[in-house]
Chain A
Amino acid sequence: MSLAIPERGWFKAPAGAEKLWIGLALLWCLVMSVMMPFWHFRGKQNSRGEAYAVQPAAFQARVEQFAAANKVGELAGVPIVEPAPGGDAYLLARMWSWYPVLKLRQGETYRLHLSALDLQHGFSLQPLNMNFQVLPGYDHVLTLTPTSKGEFTIVCNEFCGIGHDKMFGKILVE
């Protein structure tokens, strides 16, 4: 019994049903162990953590330059910016907005650079429910391919102060 000192010969191999269960559980664990590497090589959705060190002010300057060079419109006062297909896009998170609004083309692949100016933020693309962490000092690069059209909302899902719930942005895909 679990409160008492075990008997002298307590060390023995599992047998019967216990042994079968351990075998089955181990098999299941091996299946799961294979899934992540498998998806890494063959699956289309991965989080590799590709990132570069950046000064927030330098990133902000790059975003402004990107927005100015590729602006195609405005949405509620925020520039709508269309990056070149297959190119780099930039998105800046700050208390409490996402800048700029991105306009992307369905089927094209972009290198989306995410960083923050001030605190940690959470990039949460709805209704797809794709979520990534955004930190100041890190240029988090996502190689992203929009495969559906529409208007997508970026919700911030990392606490960033009193205006956190009002922090949202947009990505438009045509």
Chain B
Amino acid sequence: MAGARRRGGICDYLNMKKPSDEPWLKRLMDNTWLLLVLGVLIPLLSYTVWGWVELTVVKPATLP
């Protein structure tokens, strides 16, 4: 790639692989920000929000 850079921007563009050619898993692994978003969102929804909802719908005791 060093050679491409010396010749300038156009050759850079032509020589680069298009993102859509890469497998989605590789793109995910290379995307720190997406991993951060998913890594925060999934546990927040599955553990925290769902758990919070479970606790808010606890019914009052009848103590038979």
Which residues of A are interface residues toward B (Cβ below 8 A)? 11, 51-54, 58-59, 62, 88, 90, 113, 138-139
Contacts and interface: CB of A to CB of B under 8 A. Distances in A.
B63 A11 contact: no
- Main SS at interface, chain B: loop
Contact of B63 (A51, A54, A138): A54
B64 A139 contact: no
Given A11-B25, A53-B61, A139-B61, 15 more contacts: A11-B23, A11-B29, A53-B58, A53-B59, A54-B60, A54-B61, A54-B63, A58-B61, A58-B63, A59-B61, A59-B63, A62-B63, A88-B64, A90-B63, A138-B58
B61 A52 contact: yes
Size band of the interface chain B makes with A: 10 to 19
Contacts of A51: 58
A13 B63 CA distance: 59
A40 B63 CA distance: 26
Contacts of B62: 52
B26 interface: yes
Contacts of B60: 52-54
Contacts of B25: 11
A168 to B, nearest CB: 25
A11 B26 contact: yes
Nearest to B62: A52
A138 B62 CA distance: 12
Interface string B28-55: 0100000000000000000000000000
28 contacts: A11-B22, A11-B23, A11-B25, A11-B26, A11-B29, A51-B58, A52-B58, A52-B59, A52-B60, A52-B61, A52-B62, A53-B58, A53-B59, A53-B60, A53-B61, A54-B60, A54-B61, A54-B63, A58-B61, A59-B61, A59-B63, A62-B63, A88-B64, A90-B63, A113-B63, A138-B58, A139-B61, A139-B63
